[in-house]
């Protein structure tokens, strides 16, 4: 009978550093399709820089909220594949996160109380033979597909008490001054910082001075085309984070900034030059 399964058909999202050259992602989809042909699979991105767990965690953090309850998010950026690092399923607020326990899932779970943390060790739901180098295909994809069919999380393996968390890089604030850093650079070359919109609330958007390396930008803009005469613009981006962009250009290539570079924000004073 077809209806009940359709009504429960779930969406499974995939995020990885597998790139677009090889058929690794396609194979994961084949495995899912073989188990649950009605599951909908949506790619978040497979262009995460190889082994860059933090970039994967950020991409997942800012994607998952746009999917409806019941979504199953599979993420695989997994340099420790085949070692003792645990394969996890974390359930929180009616969403499911599946991937290696290396911090990749953690930023999407900030501020949420996980309902369950399961080590998906039940080999009955793994592909056989199970390779030591491609758990995306052999563990994470089949586990997600079985979960989408209605297998209970508790059937997939034993409960665990906690999971590995990546720290969100903390801001340093001194009076009205804020020091953050570049945490992500997107495909347009936009420099994304760890400075959330609310951290800027105390400051006057027009009189804010932002600096990174030798680059200094005055004021917070509403959109990319409100750039200064050089083309640079600072704005709160669609992730709710302060971002530096070069209008119709590539800020990273142009100014040479890189992940981890410090970003300073001050309120403009009488002599803005000294404030920097």
Distance of CA 86 to the CA centre of its chain: 20
The residue among 190, 194, 97 whose CA lies nearest residue 140 is: 97
Helix 24-35 vs helix 141-149: crossing angle, to nearest 10: 30
Can you give the binding site for its own copies, defined by CB under 8 A? 2-3, 6-7, 9, 11, 13, 15, 18-23, 25-27, 29-31, 33-34, 37, 40, 42-48, 50-51, 59-60, 62-63, 66-68, 71, 79-83, 131-134, 137-138, 186-188, 222-226, 235, 237-238, 247-248, 250
Q: How far is the CB of 96 from its own copies (least distance, A)?
A: 14
Residue closer to its own copies, measured from CB, 82 or 213:
82
Residues in the chain: 276
| Two tokens, residue 89 | 């399923």
Neighbours of 166 (CB within 10 A): 18
Q: How far is the CB of 1 from its own copies (least distance, A)?
A: 10
| Two tokens, residue 92 | 């929180």
Q: How far is the CB of 48 from its own copies (least distance, A)?
A: 8
Asked whether the beta carbons of 67 and 6 are under 8 A apart, the reply is no
Task: Determine the Cα–Cα distance for residues 194 and 197; give it in Å rounded to an integer.
Answer: 10
Residue closer to its own copies, measured from CB, 20 or 229:
20
Task: Determine the Cα–Cα distance for residues 49 and 56; give it in Å rounded to an integer.
Answer: 8
Residue closer to its own copies, measured from CB, 77 or 117:
77
| Two tokens, residue 274 | 């000294």
What is the DSSP annotation of 170-210?
PPEEETTEEEEEEEEE-TT--EEEEEEGGGGTTS-GGGEEE
Q: How far is the CB of 214 from its own copies (least distance, A)?
A: 24
Q: How far is the CB of 231 from its own copies (least distance, A)?
A: 11
Residue closer to its own copies, measured from CB, 3 or 174:
3
Q: How many CA atoms lie within 13 A of 208 on its CB side?
A: 25
Residue closer to its own copies, measured from CB, 168 or 188:
188
Q: How far is the CB of 272 from its own copies (least distance, A)?
A: 25
Q: Is 140 helix (H, G, I), strand (E, B) or coil?
A: helix
Residue closer to its own copies, measured from CB, 82 or 158:
82
Q: How far is the CB of 177 from its own copies (least distance, A)?
A: 25
Asked whether the beta carbons of 37 and 5 are under 8 A apart, the reply is no
Q: How far is the CB of 243 from its own copies (least distance, A)?
A: 8
Residue closer to its own copies, measured from CB, 79 or 256:
79
Residue closer to its own copies, measured from CB, 14 or 117:
14
Partners of 211 in the beta sheet? 216, 264
């Amino acid at each position: 009978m077809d209806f009940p399964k359709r009504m429960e058909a779930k969406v499974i999202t995939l995020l990885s550093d597998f790139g677009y050259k090889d058929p690794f992602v396609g194979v994961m989809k084949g495995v899912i399709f073989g188990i649950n042909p009605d599951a909908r699979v949506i790619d978040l991105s497979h262009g995460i820089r190889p082994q860059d767990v933090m970039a994967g965690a950020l991409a997942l953090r800012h994607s998952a909220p746009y999917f409806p309850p019941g979504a199953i998010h599979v993420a695989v950026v997994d340099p420790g594949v085949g070692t003792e690092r645990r394969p996890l399923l974390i359930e929180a607020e009616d969403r499911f996160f599946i991937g290696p326990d290396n911090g990749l899932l953690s930023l999407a779970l900030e501020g949420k109380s996980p309902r369950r943390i399961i080590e998906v060790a039940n080999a009955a739901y793994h592909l056989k033979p199970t390779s030591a180098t491609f758990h995306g295909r052999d563990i994470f994809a089949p586990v997600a597909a079985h979960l989408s069919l209605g297998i209970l999380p508790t059937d997939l393996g034993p409960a665990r008490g906690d999971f590995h968390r990546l720290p969100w890089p903390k801001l340093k604030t001194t009076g009205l001054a804020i020091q953050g850093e570049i945490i992500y650079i997107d495909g347009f070359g936009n420099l994304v910082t760890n400075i959330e919109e609310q951290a800027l609330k105390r400051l006057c958007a027009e009189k804010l001075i932002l600096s990174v390396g030798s680059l200094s930008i005055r004021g917070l803009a509403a959109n990319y085309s409100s750039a200064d005469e050089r083309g640079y613009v600072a704005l709160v981006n669609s992730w709710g984070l302060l971002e530096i962009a070069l209008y119709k250009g590539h800020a990273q290539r142009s100014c040479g900034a890189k992940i981890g570079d410090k970003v300073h924000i001050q309120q403009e004073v009488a002599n803005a030059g000294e404030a920097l």
